[in-house]
Amino acid sequence: MWELSDDEWQNSVAVNLDGTFYCTRSAIPVMQQQQSGIILNIASGMGMRATPQSPGYAASKAGVINLTETVSAALARDNIRVNCITPGLVAQQPASNSTEKQQQLDRGKFITVGRLGEAWELGPLALFLCSDASSYVTGANFCIDGGGLAGGIAPTGYKPDINGVNDD
């Protein structure tokens, strides 16, 4: 963290947290006028756990989660729902070659379900949150991460070696 430049920090906050704030703020007057609306933010599992390798990204995504909760409380009486999807490790696109495929398989070992998520798997949750089926849902953060946060980020079946002793 102490090696993170001011520009790197500011860029993470600007893209992730400021971007979410300014988009939300610009949509609110229209939604208040029509007395309805849905705001759906996207965070990251990295915003819900210590992430020493990416403190700016993690802190800004944690901010998105809190901003979602805060704005939802302020706008609920205006019939405006605000929720957040928090994906875990998700392949942005199908592997284009055997090397990429192997990298995705290797990264999937660190997820409880044993694989990376696929981008299309986020869509049904987003559709639900933007539909009338979720009319009683606001201020919620939905983790869709294959159990990554619940099971930790380690290969499934991993058992730590504590004090040089591993019972396996």
Q: Would you say how long the chain is, in residues?
A: 168
Q: 10 Å Cβ neighbour count for 67?
A: 19
| Placement of tokens 């991993």 in the chain | 158
- Please, how many CA atoms are within 13 Å of residue 73, restricted to the half-sphere of its CB? 5
Task: List the catalytic residues.
Answer: 57
Query: Tokens for 73?
Result: 């409380």
| Placement of tokens 């210590």 in the chain | 50
Instruction: Let me know if 77 is exposed, middle or buried by CB neighbors in 10 A (0-12, 13-18, 19+).
Output: exposed
Question: Nearest to residue 38, comparing CAs of 86, 65, 75, 87?
Answer: 75
In single-letter form, the type of residue at position 29 comes to: P
